[in-house]
Structure 1
Amino acid sequence: MADRIDLSLWILVADWLIRIGALLWIPARSRPAAARSWLLLVGFVPLLGLPLYLLLGHPWLSRQRILRQDQASSAIREGQLPQAALQWTPPEGSVAHETVPLVGRLGAFMALRGNAVRLLDDYDASLQSLLDAIDGAHQQVHLLYYLMFDDAVGERVVAVLERTAARGVRCRVLLDAQGARRGLRRYRRRLQAAGVELHAMLPGGLRWRSSGRADLRNHRKIAVIDDHVAYVGSQNLAEAGFVAGHPNRELVARVHGPIVAHLEAVFASDWYLETGEVLAVTPARPSHADDTACQLLPSGPAYPFPNAGDTIAALIHLARRRVVLTTPYFVPDDAIIGAMRIAALSGVEVQLILSASNNQRLTAMAQHACYEELLACGVRIALHRPGFLHAKHLSVDDDVALIGSINLDIRSFALNAEVGLLCYDRDVVADMRRIEADYLADAEVVALEAWRRRPAWRRSAEGIARLADSFM
C-alpha cells in the first residue's frame, strides 16, 4: 500500500515539475500562439506533451546551417555589386517603393530591371518547356525541387538529365529528402552513374544534429539552365495526378535576364548549406525582349525573420484597390488574418482563391475555421474546382505580382525554405489577373450566411484543427 502511495506521489510531483518547467521554458522559445498551444497540451498530458515539444516544438536548425546561410547572404549582397547599374528604383508613392527595401533587407536581393517574365499555367506545357531547356543546355543545369516522383514525369526528367550529362554538361540536382524520397530511392544510383551530382536536402535521420528539426523541409522549386533561363513557381517534378483524385493545377514563371543570376544564387546557397562547396554565380545579361523589374524573396528557418510572412502581410497592408491571394493551403498567422481584415474594412477588394478539394484533411479543417471572420469583414472567398489548385501567388493593385512556392500557412512561414519572385510590372500583373479570372470562372463562392449554418460539431472540429496547426 505504501509503495502505491509513493508511486502516486512521484507521478504527481513529476507532472507538476513538467508543467512548471514548461511554463518557464516554452514561452521564451516559441511564438505566443504556439506557446499557448503547447502549454495547453503539456497541461493536459504532461508525460506526452513534453517529449512532443522537445521533438517538434521549436523550428531549430543546426548552428552550421545558420552560419552558412548568413555567409551565403553576405556573399549575395557583395556579389550583386557588379549589377548595381541594373538596380531598379521604384517610383515614390507606389506599393513597390515600400516593398523593395523591405524585401532587400529580409532576403538580401536587390530589385533588378531588364528581365523577361512569362507565366506558364498549362501543366504539361510548362513541364515540356523545362525539359526542352535542359535538353538544349550547353554548360550547366541546376535543379532544386521539393518533390520528384517515380512516375512517368520522373522518368522523363531522369532521361533528359542522362542525355545532357552525357554531352558533357555539368548537372547538379538538389531534392528534398522527404518530399522526393520516392524519386531519390528509385533514381539516385542511376543519376549518379550518369555523372549527375545529386544531394538530398535536410536528410535528418542519424545526421539530424547537422541538419535540424525532423520536419523542416526545403519546399523550393527552381531550375536554372546555362545562366540564361530559369523557372520558379509551384510545380514539382511529378505527374499532375500524383495524388490520386487531386490533379494539380500550377503556375510557373519562366524568366530571362539578370534575375536568373539571383535564382542561381539561391541554388548555390542551398548547395553550400548541404555540401559546403562554394559555386560560382555568373551575372546574367539583361533581356532584349522585355524590361520587367523583378526581385527575389527567399525565406526559411535559417533566416532571422519570417521573410515570407512579413512580406505578404506588408503587401496586403499596402494595397489600395485590390489584392488577390491564391493558395492551396490557407492557415495563416494572426498577422496575415489581421492584414486581410484591415484591408477589407478599409474598402480594398480582398479576394481569396482556394481549392475546393484538398489532399490535407487536417489543413482543410483548420482553414475552414478562418472563413467566418474573413467573410464577416468583407473578404471574398472562392473555392476553385475541378482538380486541386496547387498554384501559389498573389497580386496587388495593378503593380505587383508574387509567384513561387509560398503557401499562406504557418508551415511555409516558419518551417519550410521557400522562394518567391516579385514582379513590379503591369503587364505581368495583367497576365496574372487573366489567370485569376479563369480560376474564378470555375469556382464556388462561399456565402457568410450559408457558412454560418454549418453544424456545431464541424465548428468544434475546425477550431481544434486550427489550434493543432499552431504546434510549432
Structure 2
Amino acid sequence: MDIFYDLIKWLVVLIYWLLIANITYRILIKRRSIPSSMSWLLTIYILPFIGIAIWFFFGELYLGKRQKKIARKIWSISNTYLNELKSCKYIFQIKNSEVATSLFQLCKHRQGISGIKNNNITLLTNTKKTMEVLIRDIYSARKNIEMVFYIWKPGGIADDVAVALIDSAKRGVHCRLMLDSAGSVEFFRSPWFNVMKKSGIEIVEALKVSLIRIFLRRLDVRQHRKIILIDNYISYSGSMNLVDPYLFKQSSGIGQWIDLMTRIEGPIATTMGIIYSCDWEIETGFKILPKLPSKEMLKKKCNQNSSVQVIASGPGFPKNVIHQALLTAIYSARNELIMTTPYLVPSDDLLHAICTAAQRGVKVSIIIPLYHDSILVKWASRVFFSELLEAGVKIYQFKKGLLHSKSILIDQQLSLIGTVNLDMRSLWLNFEITLVIDDSKFSHNLSSIQKEYIANSRLLDKNIWSMRAYWTRVLEKIFYFLSPLL
C-alpha cells in the first residue's frame, strides 16, 4: 500500500513539473513583453497549482474550436467583399489632413480600405438623449436593424428600446441582436429574452459562459463592441452600453456612467456592417454581408472634407492594429493631445509615447474617473501617475460620475471614439471597435465636451502626489505586478 501511495505521489509530482515545463516553454516561445512574461513565470512558480489554473483560464488567447476555425479565415473571406467595396471609388477620401495621414495610411494597409467620406457625423454626449434618438431611428427603420452590445441591462429606457425593436420586428424589419454572455447575463435571465425572440428578433449569446466552456476556451475574451446599424445607412458606435443611466450600478455609489456615442448617416455603415457580419459568422456560422453603398448616398449634403475609418480588433482581425493605431495617433500629435479613459493601464510602448509627446512640447491631458468600479484597475493605474506627471502630462480626475468615455483628440482635428480602454484587455484580448474621424467640425464638438469634463475634474498635483503614504506605493506596486494580466 505504501508503494502505491508513493507511486501516486511521484506521478502527481511528475505531472506537475511536466505542466510547469510545458507552460514555461509556451511563455518563452511566444514573443511577449518582458513584464508580461515575468509576471506569468512568477505566477506559475510561486503559486503552485493555482498559477497553473490561472494560466489555463487566462494565459492564452483562444476561442472555442469552431469559432477559432472561422476566426482564422474570417478576414480573408471578407477581403473578397472588400475588393467589391473598393470598386465604389466614389465613397473613398483621397486626401487626409496632415495630422491624420499616417494613421489613415496604416488603416488602409492593415485593413484593406481607405477612409470613407460623405458621412454626416453627430456626437452624442448624453446617454438618455442618445437612447431617445435611437428609439426614433428604430421606429423609422424599414429593412434591417443589427445591434451588438457588451451589456444590455433591462429596466427604464432600455425597455423602451426593447419595445421599439419588438414593434419593428412585427412589422417586418429584420432585427438581429448580439449580446456578450457575461456582460448581458441579466438580460438573458430576464423575460425580455424570450419575448423578443418570439417577436421574430434573432438573438445571439456571444462567447457563452458555462462550466463546460471553462475547459474549452479562456473566459476573459469578451465581445466588447457597441454597434448599431439601421437600414445599412445609419450607424452608431461609442462607449455606451444598452442601459438606463439612472438605474445602472447606482448601488456602487459612484454616480452615473458618462458615455460618448457617434451617430453617422452614410456609407461608413457598410464598413461597420462588414465587422458585424464577421462577428455574426464567428458565433453562428452564417454570413450576412451588407449591401454595397449606392451613389444615392452622395446626393445627401455631407462634409466632403471629412473622412472616417473603422478599426476592429479581436480574434480573426488584423493583429495588434488597435495598439499600432494608438501609437501612430499619439506620435502624430504636434500641439495638443487629450485622452479620456476609464481604465488607464497602458502598455510600456503607449506609456512611452504619451510621455514622449509631453516632453517634445505637446500639451497632453488625460481625463480619468476619480471614482472607480474596479479596485484592481484603480490601484494598478496609480503606478503610472508619477512617470506621466514627471513628463509634464496633466492628469484630471473626473468627479461627477464614472467617466466611461473612450476618446482621443489630436491637434483639434483627428478624433478617435470607440470601445477601447487603455488597458491590456482592450488592447490584446477583446472584440473592440474604434472610429477614426478626420473632421475639424466633429473635433471641435469633441473638444467642447472634453473641456466640460475637465471643468468637472480635479487636477492631480505632482507635488502632493509625490508625498502620498508609503503603504499606498507598496499597494500600487503589487497591483502593477498584476497589470499585464488585467
TM-score by length of 2: 0.91
Superposition deviation, residue 29 in structure 1: 3.3
- 1:365/1:462 contact within 8 Å kept: yes
Secondary structure of residue in 2 paired with 1:470: helix
Moved more, 32-41 or 14-23: 14-23
Superposition deviation, residue 181 in structure 1: 1.3
- Residues 397/162 of structure 1: CA separation in 2 closer, same or farther (3 Å cut): same
Matches within 5 A, 1:25-424: 25-29=26-30, 31-32=32-33, 33-61=35-63, 62=65, 63-91=68-96, 94-186=98-190, 187-205=192-210, 208=213, 212-240=217-245, 241-244=247-250, 245-246=253-254, 247-284=256-293, 285-286=297-298, 287-291=300-304, 292-424=306-438
Superposition deviation, residue 188 in structure 1: 1.8
Secondary structure of residue in 1 paired with 2:88: helix
Superposition deviation, residue 307 in structure 1: 1.6
* Cα-to-partner distance string for 1:347-371 (whole Å, 9 max, x where unaligned): 1111101111111111111111111
* In 2, Cα distance between equivalents of 1:162 and 1:140: 13
- Residues 178/463 of structure 1: CA separation in 2 closer, same or farther (3 Å cut): same
- Residues 72/456 of structure 1: CA separation in 2 closer, same or farther (3 Å cut): farther
Q: Which amino acid aligns with 2:303?
A: D
- Residues 214/30 of structure 1: CA separation in 2 closer, same or farther (3 Å cut): farther
* In 1, Cα distance between equivalents of 2:342 and 2:123: 18
Q: Which amino acid aligns with 1:160?
A: A
Secondary structure of residue in 2 paired with 1:408: coil
* In 1, Cα distance between equivalents of 2:404 and 2:102: 29
* In 2, Cα distance between equivalents of 1:91 and 1:161: 38
Superposition deviation, residue 128 in structure 1: 0.5
- 1:73/1:107 contact within 8 Å kept: no
* In 1, Cα distance between equivalents of 2:50 and 2:383: 26
Residue 448 (structure 2) aligns with: 434
RMSD (CA atoms): 2.4
Question: Mind listing any 5+ residue stretches in structure 2 that lack a counterpart?
Answer: none
- 1:109/1:297 contact within 8 Å kept: no
Q: 2:459 aligns with which of 416, 437, 445?
A: 445
* Cα-to-partner distance string for 1:124-173 (whole Å, 9 max, x where unaligned): 11111011100111111111111100212332121111111111111111
* In 1, Cα distance between equivalents of 2:460 and 2:351: 17
* Cα-to-partner distance string for 1:73-97 (whole Å, 9 max, x where unaligned): 42442232232222112347x1222
- 2:367/2:454 contact within 8 Å kept: yes
Q: Which amino acid aligns with 1:96?
A: A
* In 2, Cα distance between equivalents of 1:127 and 1:331: 30
Secondary structure of residue in 1 paired with 2:248: coil
- Residues 125/317 of structure 1: CA separation in 2 closer, same or farther (3 Å cut): same
Secondary structure of residue in 2 paired with 1:406: coil
* Cα-to-partner distance string for 1:370-423 (whole Å, 9 max, x where unaligned): 111111111110001111111111011122101111111110011110111111
* In 1, Cα distance between equivalents of 2:77 and 2:473: 45
Q: Which amino acid aligns with 1:165?
A: A
- Residues 57/70 of structure 1: CA separation in 2 closer, same or farther (3 Å cut): same
Superposition deviation, residue 8 in structure 1: 8.1
- Residues 468/76 of structure 1: CA separation in 2 closer, same or farther (3 Å cut): farther
- Residues 188/148 of structure 1: CA separation in 2 closer, same or farther (3 Å cut): same
Superposition deviation, residue 207 in structure 1: 7.1
Superposition deviation, residue 174 in structure 1: 0.8
Superposition deviation, residue 209 in structure 1: 9.4
- Residues 133/304 of structure 1: CA separation in 2 closer, same or farther (3 Å cut): closer
* In 2, Cα distance between equivalents of 1:19 and 1:143: 43
Runs of 4+ in structure 1 off by over 6 angstroms are 2-15
Superposition deviation, residue 265 in structure 1: 1.7
- Residues 68/135 of structure 1: CA separation in 2 closer, same or farther (3 Å cut): farther
Moved more, 56-65 or 156-165: 56-65
